[in-house]
Amino acid sequence: MALNGKVAVVTGAAMGIGKAITERFLQSSAKVVLLDMNETAAKSLMQELVAQHGDDRLLFLSCNVACDDQMKAAFQKVTETFGGIDIVCNNAGILDECDWEKTVSVNLGGVIRGSYVALEHMNKLTGGRGGVVINTASVAGVFPMEAFPAYSASKHGVVGFTRALAAASTASGYGVRFNAICPGAVQTPLLSGFRSKMGRFAHMEPAVHQVMTQTGTMKPCVVAESVLALVMDETRNGEALMILQEGNAYLSFPSL
């Protein structure tokens, strides 16, 4: 899929990985809609992006991915503004072991909600143009992260949901691909502020730092390049792409 003229929706777009994805899509001539709750950061980013790319390919909508009504309204506005949707990146996420219900609601519930709303607009059987949905999981969705069990559970759920929905989309003829990315440690606000969000597992902070020292951390732009490649490769569906310092690897799963 070439991105020239395509319409992409990115959640959690104001900072971190979402910001990097947004910038990379714009560089590839896509139209990008930024969804985020952080209006201050989003509006500041919008000023930068409009200065670089003009305002005809950009739109910001304040949106909470944990709210059904807000998500549906946002996607409807995108369709009305740009005539359809080709790419959705369900990227918004938090890390908060102090509030595990919110963590699951945003990280997994937001992905499920975003994927289902995306299907309402992209499904070829109901007038959509088809396309691709990329869901942000984590290496914590592949390996159990003992210091972040709720976060780990939410990201495992993202991988399982993405693979199942990809199979359902293929079997149903929806014309929409679903893939997940599983990045390692990335230099984002989520990573830098994790200490205060560890709750009952705060005593494990030294072990977390030791792992990050051993594995290293990536810049968000590294993840964005992998997202771009996954979007453009139309042979990829139901994949979970692990993104590490040493390189990328598509995960293999046992078949039924």
Catalytic residue numbers read: 151
- Distances 216 to 134, 136, 183, 244, 245 between C-alpha atoms, Å: 24, 19, 12, 9, 7
The helix (run of H) or strand (run of E) holding residue 119 is helix 110-122
From the number of C-beta atoms within 10 Å of its C-beta (0-12, 13-18, 19+), residue 251 rates as middle
How far is the C-alpha of 49 from the C-alpha of 58, rounded, in Å? Answer: 8
Query: Alpha-carbon distance 139 to 105, whole Å?
Result: 19
Distance CA 10, CA 185 (A): 20
DSSP code, position 108: I
Nearest CA to 29 among 54, 65, 64? 54
CA neighbor of 88 nearest in space, from 49, 120, 57, 56: 120
Q: Are 24 and 223 a contacting pair, CB within 8 Å?
A: no
